[in-house]
Amino acid sequence: MRKLLELPRSNVWRVIFFLILLGGACGLYVRFMYGLGGATNLSDQFPWGLWKGFNVLAGIGLGAGGFTVAATVHIFNLKRYKPILRIALMTAFLGYSLMAVALTIDIGRPYRIWHPIFMWNEHSVLFEVAWCVMLYLTVLSLELAPAVCERFGWKKILSWVRAISPPVVIFGVILSTLHQSSLGSLFLIVPEKLYPLWYTPWLPVLFFISAVCSGLAMVIFASWQSCRALGKQLALPLLDGLGRVLAVILLFYLSLRFVDLSRRGALSVLTENRRETWLFLLEIALMAVPMLLLFRSRVRADAHSLYVCALMVLFGFVANRLNVAITGLEASLGTHYLPRWPEVMITLSLICVGFAIFRAAALHLPLFAAPERVEEQVEELEPVSV
């Protein structure tokens, strides 16, 4: 238990961590005492802000590693990626859970979060997303259940969960494909509002592919972070493989972006000197630079460079989601949006909580070993290094 509370290693980080959580708690108080108007800079002109753009759009995308690696290991049967499967599933589980928490804070009447279960509108993209996310969280729980069962030696449940695993994994991949792309479809209905650098009928496809990129980058990031924090050996050959796949998908994604821009004749707006142009270029650079680097085997072979590349992709991905949800709408909605402090503090707090839970899970659950090996060594206290 002491280990669980002992989060960041140095005192500086610990202080920052608790200051952020304190700020988040104050933010929550303001949010629920004074309503959304008191806690956010949202308005009738600008109804969606940081919580929708970052926590929901990016949060779900950052969890895309779960279904990507699950499909690789279970469906394509590439067993060598098994050691990172549970890390990927854990990032997904946290990404989705925290997104659900953030969404509950963001909606005007949090106590009605269950309404979509009973009140249906199949014409709404958001309805589809809500259902996919609910079902996928269930799938993720089932996919992660073996780790918990192994930890506590629940053999009966373990065999039961293993038995239903194949259809569950396939179901999870389908759900992910649907909702990751649907997050892009959310914006199909505002062709006259979203800036031409981002509005395209291809939004669902682009959102799906970029989510896969961010999911892979998240797995590299989480592996690196947890190995460093817990003093384990990094499964570098595997991450090297992921890095190469990531580079190829990034290349495909960026090509598609530019094919789309030129197809729609939107490249010409890039010559205009305005915020949208620069933030677009930032987003593209944060994807293109790591792509070029990741194509070099020397970069991938170095854990630190690999980590920096993954970090850049993550930032590029978040920049893209924020650009779609915020930057791209400002001009047409005729207003400028900057989040107020409770929005920022609650968002940062959720990220911190994510780190803390991941650390606790990494310490107490067999996340790092291939499942077969853990079954034999379930009595050992320290998880096996890979």
Partner 1 sequence: MGLGILYDSTLCVGCRECEKACAGRWKLPYNEKIAAEEQISAHKLTAIQTHGDHFSRRLCMHCNEPSCVSVCLVGAFQKTAMGPVVYDEDKCIGCRYCMLACPFQVPTYEWSSRLPRVRKCDMCYDRVRAGKQTACAEACPTGATISGDRNELIAEAKRRIAEKPDQYFGRVYGVEEAGGTSTLFLSAVPFAQLGVPTNLPNAALPKLTWQVLSRTPDIASVAAVLLGGVYWITHRREEVAAAEGKGKP
Q: In this structure, what token pair is assigned to residue 255?
A: 């090509």
Within 8 A by CB and 6+ apart from 162, the residues are 146
Minimum separation from the CB atom of position 88 to partner 1 (A): 17
Stretch that binds partner 1, among 149-157, 166-174, 259-267, 342-350 (CB under 8 A): 166-174
Residue written as token pair 């509370």: 5
124 binds partner 1 (CB under 8 A): yes
**Residue among 149, 178, 219, 250 that touches partner 1 (CB under 8 A):** 178
**Residue among 25, 190, 285, 338 that touches partner 1 (CB under 8 A):** 190
CB of 43 or CB of 159, closer to partner 1: 43
155 binds partner 1 (CB under 8 A): no
Give me the amino acid identity at 285: A
Within 8 A by CB and 6+ apart from 59, the residues are 95, 96, 98, 99, 102
Minimum separation from the CB atom of position 168 to partner 1 (A): 12
**Residue among 60, 69, 71, 183 that touches partner 1 (CB under 8 A):** 71
**Residue among 15, 19, 25, 113 that touches partner 1 (CB under 8 A):** 113
Cα–Cα distance for residue pair 245/241, rounded to 1 Å: 6
CB of 34 or CB of 160, closer to partner 1: 34
CB of 106 or CB of 150, closer to partner 1: 106
Site string for partner 1, 6-45 (x = CB under 8 A): --------------------------xxxxxxx---xxxx
Stretch that binds partner 1, among 1-9, 114-122, 214-222, 304-312 (CB under 8 A): 114-122
107 binds partner 1 (CB under 8 A): yes
What is the 3-state secondary structure of the chain? CHHHHCCCCCHHHHHHHHHHHHHHHHHHHHHHHHHHHHHCCCCCCCCCCHHHHHHHHHHHHHCCHHHHHHHHHHHCCCHHHHHHHHHHHHHHHHHHHHHHHHHHHHCCCHHHCCHHHHCCCCCCHHHHHHHHHHHHHHHHHHHHHHHHHHHHCCHHHHHHHHHCHHHHHHHHHHHHHHHHHHHHHCCCCCCCCCCCCCCCCCHHHHHHHHHHHHHHHHHHHHHHHHHHHHCCCCCHHHHHHHHHHHHHHHHHHHHHHHHHHHHCCCHHHHHCCCHHHHHHHHHHHHHHHHHHHHCCHHHHHCHHHHHHHHHHHHHHHHHHHHHHHHHHHHHHHCCCCCCCHHHHHHHHHHHHHHHHHHHHHHHHCCCCCCHHHHHHCCCCCCCCCC
**Residue among 5, 11, 108, 231 that touches partner 1 (CB under 8 A):** 108
Minimum separation from the CB atom of position 360 to partner 1 (A): 31
Minimum separation from the CB atom of position 192 to partner 1 (A): 5
123 binds partner 1 (CB under 8 A): yes
Stretch that binds partner 1, among 113-121, 140-148, 294-302, 345-353 (CB under 8 A): 113-121
CB of 182 or CB of 347, closer to partner 1: 182
303 binds partner 1 (CB under 8 A): no
CB of 106 or CB of 359, closer to partner 1: 106
Within 321-380, which residues bind partner 1 (CB under 8 A)?
A: 329, 333
Query: Is residue 326 within 8 Å of 49, Cβ to Cβ?
Result: yes
162 binds partner 1 (CB under 8 A): no
**Residue among 1, 10, 11, 109 that touches partner 1 (CB under 8 A):** 109
CB of 185 or CB of 223, closer to partner 1: 185
Q: Which residues contribute to the site for partner 1 (CB under 8 A)?
A: 32-38, 42-45, 47-48, 71, 74-77, 106-109, 112-113, 115-116, 119-128, 130, 166, 170, 173-174, 177-178, 182, 185-186, 188-193, 201, 204, 329, 333
